[in-house]
């Protein structure tokens, strides 16, 4: 009896052998709907693409549109305050009144003459329309709002942090992450005509130190405004960079000459005591290489102190909270933004100690 022939086993295909030898790669898991695309190890901090007003603020603005309202800002209104107030007044309709607390600062007078020509003094506007609702922009510090003493505020739109002493309103949109009030107003009014777009773009560039303190939403707002503006980004910067008056430049140079600095905890701290232009001197110290700058001035009315941080360090401390402490030490108040804040108070004789206190608080509270 012949033995049965065993069937020859088929050898595996070459590709299959290779997989067996090298080890087959496990199947890639299917991506769930809405799963993050952030690569491993990357920052997972959410990025805000734009700022949106809360519903109560939008409802209040829609209700007030076409009615008599008075829009005002802080004393010595800057470019951001004038631009945002004028643009919002135009959007609300011809019965909305842009009212100035007092004189605008020199930059606003140079950049926005048409917007200022259309504005009224607040005292005159209030005298003519005593019952008109008041909309407050770009401020909540009562020390900057003496013209609103005893007034009831209908709405606040601001980018300065609220403190216990702040002026409050029935409806509020306060966004401390924003670099300017202009970008908040731009998100409300949408596409603007060329003159309003130019004013708001200048407000953003001015208050963000020409985008030095700009977050992604600020850049997005500026890009949208430039699409409707009658001039380019370069032309706007050229308008902003016109040389200041010789007296202003001399004050900054004197502040730099009198400045002191020291290295502590890996941070380069600079401070100076000046007669005026403390915010400009603080900006100049940061531009010169300081990580933090504190500059103060004092006169018969009290003391003022401006603080600046290099933007990349702003997340490592609470500068507005720090300046609130300094403001209380001066018998007044303080606050501001993560990289630019200030304090003021009637106790001008404490200015030197306030500069020391600010630096000590920064070193104690940085992380």
Is the dihedral angle over the CA atoms 228, 230, 235, 237 positive or is it negative? negative
Of 276, 227, 218, the C-alpha closest to 249 is 276
CA 175 to chain centre: 8
Alpha helical stretches, state H, 208-277: 216-226, 233-240, 246-257
C-alpha–C-alpha distance, residues 29 and 214, integer Å: 39
279 in helix, strand or coil? helix
Q: By the 8 A CB rule, do 87 and 114 touch?
A: no
CATH T-level fold of 246-365: Diaminopimelate Epimerase; Chain A, domain 1 (3.10.310)
pLDDT at 266: 92
Pairing of strands 333-336, 134-137: unpaired
Q: What per-residue confidence (pLDDT) applies to 15? A: 52
pLDDT tens, position by position, 287-296: 899 999 999 9
Low-confidence ranges of the chain (pLDDT < 50): 16-23, 31-47
Burial of 347 (0-12, 13-18, 19+ CB in 10 A): middle
Query: For residue 118, what are the CA distances in angstroms to 83, 99, 114, 121, 297?
Result: 12, 9, 6, 10, 34
How high is the pLDDT of residue 174?
A: 95
Would you state the pLDDT for residue 20? 45
What's the token pair of residue 293?
């700058």
Which residue is associated with the tokens 């430039």? 226
Taking the C-alpha atoms of residue 324 and residue 320, their distance in angstroms, rounded to an integer, is 6
Question: What does the pLDDT read at residue 42?
Answer: 42
Domain ranges of the chain: 55-240, 246-365
Give CA–CA dist 86/189, Å, rounded: 12
pTM of the model: 0.71
Highest CATH level, class, for 55-240? alpha beta
Handedness of CA 302, 307, 324, 80 (dihedral sign): positive
Contact 133, 154 (CB under 8 A): yes
**Is residue 216 within 8 Å of 48, Cβ to Cβ?**
yes
How much is the pLDDT for 45? 42
pLDDT at 6: 57
Q: What is the pLDDT of residues 180-222, one digit of tens each?
A: 999 999 999 988 899 999 999 999 999 998 898 888 999 999 9
**According to the model, what pLDDT value does residue 36 have?**
39
Q: What is the CA radius of gyration of the chain?
A: 28
Determine the Cα–Cα distance for residues 146 and 102; give it in Å rounded to an integer: 10
């Amino acid at each position: 009896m012949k033995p049965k022939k065993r069937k020859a086993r088929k050898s595996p295909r070459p590709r299959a052998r290779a997989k067996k030898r090298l080890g087959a790669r496990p199947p890639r898991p299917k991506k769930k709907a809405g799963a993050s695309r952030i690569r491993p190890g990357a920052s997972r901090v959410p990025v805000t693409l734009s700022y949106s007003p809360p519903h109560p603020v939008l409802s209040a603005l829609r209700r007030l549109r076409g009615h008599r309202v008075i829009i005002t800002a802080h004393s010595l209104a800057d470019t951001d305050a004038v631009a945002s107030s004028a643009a919002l007044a135009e959007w609300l309709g011809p019965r909305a009144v842009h009212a100035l607390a007092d004189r605008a600062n020199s930059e606003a007078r140079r950049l926005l003459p048409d917007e200022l020509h259309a504005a009224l003094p607040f005292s005159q506007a209030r005298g003519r329309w005593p019952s008109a609702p008041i909309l407050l922009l770009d401020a909540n510090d009562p020390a900057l709002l003496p013209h609103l003493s005893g007034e009831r505020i209908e709405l606040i739109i601001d980018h300065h942090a609220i403190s216990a002493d702040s002026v409050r309103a029935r409806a509020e949109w306060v966004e401390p992450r924003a670099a300017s009030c202009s970008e908040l107003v731009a998100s409300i009014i949408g596409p603007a005509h060329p003159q309003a777009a130019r004013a708001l773009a200048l407000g953003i560039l001015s208050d963000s130190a020409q985008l030095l303190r700009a977050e992604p939403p600020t850049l997005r707002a500026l890009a949208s405004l430039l699409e409707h503006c009658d001039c380019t980004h370069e032309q706007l910067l050229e308008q902003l960079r016109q040389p200041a008056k010789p007296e202003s430049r001399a004050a900054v140079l004197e502040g730099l000459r009198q400045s002191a600095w020291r290295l502590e905890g890996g941070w380069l701290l600079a401070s100076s005591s000046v007669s005026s232009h403390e915010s400009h001197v603080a900006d100049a110290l940061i531009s010169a290489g300081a990580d933090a700058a504190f500059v103060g001035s004092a006169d018969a009315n009290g003391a003022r102190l401006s603080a600046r941080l290099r933007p990349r360090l702003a997340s490592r401390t609470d500068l507005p909270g720090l300046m609130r402490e300094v403001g209380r030490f001066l018998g007044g108040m303080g606050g501001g933004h993560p990289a630019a804040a200030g304090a003021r108070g009637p106790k001008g004789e404490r200015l030197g100690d306030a500069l020391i206190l600010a630096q000590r608080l920064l070193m104690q509270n940085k992380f």
